[in-house]
Amino acid sequence: MARIRAPRGTVDVFPEIPGTWRRLEETVRSVCRSAGYTEIRTPVFEYTELFQRGVGEGTDIVEKEMYTFLDKGERSITLRPEGTAPVVRAYLEHKMWAEPQPVKVYYIGPMFRYERPQLGRLRQHTQFGVEALGASSPVLDAEVISVLINVYQSLGLEGFVVRLNSIGCSKCRPRYKESLISLLSKQMDELCPDCRRRLDRNPLRVLDCKNERCKAIAKELPPIFDYLCEECCTHFEGVKRSLGVLDLTYELDPTIVRGLDYYTKTVFEVIHSGLGAQDALGGGGRYDGLAEELGGNPIPGVGFAAGIERAVQVLEDASGEGAGETSRVSVFVAAMGGSARLEAARIAHVLRKQGVSADLDYLDRSLRSQMKYADKQGVKKVVIIGEDELEAGEATVRDMVCREQVPVSFEKIVEFLLR
Contacting residue, 238, 283, 285, 303, with ligand AMP by CB under 6 A: 283
Contacting residue, 16, 25, 63, 115, with ligand AMP by CB under 6 A: 115
Contacting residue, 31, 122, 329, 385, with ligand AMP by CB under 6 A: 122
Question: Rule CB under 6 A: is residue 306 a binding residue for ligand AMP?
Answer: yes
Contacting residue, 53, 80, 89, 113, with ligand AMP by CB under 6 A: 113
Size of the site for ligand AMP (CB under 6 A): 17
Question: Rule CB under 6 A: is residue 125 a binding residue for ligand AMP?
Answer: yes
Question: Rule CB under 6 A: is residue 360 a binding residue for ligand AMP?
Answer: no
Q: What is the closest distance, in whole angstroms, from the C-beta atom of residue 83 to ligand AMP in the complex?
A: 8
Residues 310-329 close enough to bind ligand AMP by CB under 6 A: 310
What is the identity of the amino acid at 104? K
Contact indicator for 146, 246 with CB cutoff of 8 Å: yes
Q: What is the closest distance, in whole angstroms, from the C-beta atom of residue 307 to ligand AMP in the complex?
A: 2
Question: Rule CB under 6 A: is residue 108 a binding residue for ligand AMP?
Answer: no
Q: Which is nearer to ligand AMP, 134 or 282 (CB)?
A: 282
Question: Rule CB under 6 A: is residue 280 a binding residue for ligand AMP?
Answer: yes
Q: What is the closest distance, in whole angstroms, from the C-beta atom of residue 284 to ligand AMP in the complex?
A: 8
Strands 45-47, 76-79: pairing is antiparallel
Q: Of the ranges 39-47, 172-180, 305-313, 348-356, which one interacts with ligand AMP (CB under 6 A)?
A: 305-313
Q: Of the ranges 24-32, 51-59, 302-310, 332-340, which one interacts with ligand AMP (CB under 6 A)?
A: 302-310
Task: Find, among 66, 75, 151, the residue nearest to 111 by Cα.
Answer: 66
Q: What is the closest distance, in whole angstroms, from the C-beta atom of residue 31 to ligand AMP in the complex?
A: 17
Residues 72-101 close enough to bind ligand AMP by CB under 6 A: 82
Question: Rule CB under 6 A: is residue 307 a binding residue for ligand AMP?
Answer: yes
Q: Of the ranges 101-109, 118-126, 189-197, 202-210, which one interacts with ligand AMP (CB under 6 A)?
A: 118-126
* Residues in touch with ligand AMP (CB under 6 A): 82, 113, 115, 120-122, 125, 127, 280-283, 305-307, 309-310
